[in-house]
Structure 1
Amino acid sequence: MSLFTVAHFHCLPGRGAEVEAHLAPLVEPTASEDGYVFYRYFRDSADDDHFVFWEEWRDDASLDIHIAGPGVQSMLEAVLPLLAEPIAAYRLSMR
């Protein structure tokens, strides 16, 4: 059964473009990762400083490997200081 994840990135005011510059490069290489099903981020149409990741992975292990990988870790190092609050991330399953 697939694992779905949603993650909210609330940027400091006016820092959305800078944050997006670190998010965009993750999309294409993630598509070749084992366990990948779907991986995209969206920008809130009412708030340029709010991004939402919507992901689908084969299982928890695939997501854990993705998060621990150098691409995500590098992005987090760059982006965390630009956020107004901690990332709100949720792992979801269909019932």
Structure 2
Amino acid sequence: MMLLWVELQARPGAGDQLADLLAGLAQQAGSEPGVLFYAVHRQQADQNALVLYELYRDRAAWETHMALPAVQAVLQQFDALLMQPPRLVFCDPLAWSGPGPLPFSR
């Protein structure tokens, strides 16, 4: 299991466009094998700052997701939409609280 935390800072005025593109990826991710959870969030204090919370079965599932044409199309727009490259933080889940069974074992 692999969690990916991504921080994105859109250029002034580009937050809505970026949010729309990422929302489309989140909708698509729901049908991808190996994607366990995919959420897009917007910071309350900065409408141009977005955060992705992605949970994958393993790194191979993430690599498959990243290779999809729809994902590549969004990534190609990042230079025009972002102030700086995304900040990616790869994590290993340690504990879980929420509905349903634990999605991993320690």
TM-score under structure 2 length normalisation: 0.83
The AA in structure 1 aligned to 2:21 is H
State the structure with bigger RCO (CA 8 A, min sep 6), 1 or 2: 1
1:85 aligns with 84
When residues 23 and 94 of structure 1 are mapped into structure 2, their CA distance, relative to the original with a 3 A threshold, is closer
Displacement after TM superposition at 1:27 (Å) = 1.3
Per-residue displacement from partner, 1:66-89 (whole Å, max 9, x unpaired)? 011111101111233110011111
Aligned-residue Cα RMSD (Å) equals: 1.1
Matches within 5 A, 1:1-95: 2-94=1-93
Q: Aligned AA for 2:19?
A: E
Aligned-pair distance for 1:28? Answer: 1.5
Matched residue pairs, number? 94
CA shift digits 1:41-74 (9 cap, x unpaired): 1000000000000010000000011011111101
Q: Which runs of 4+ in 1 moved over 4 A?
A: none
- Where structure 2 has 5 or more consecutive residues not aligned to the other structure, the ranges are 95-106
Identity of aligned residues (%): 30
Residues 22 and 79, structure 1, Cα contact 8 Å, conserved in 2: no
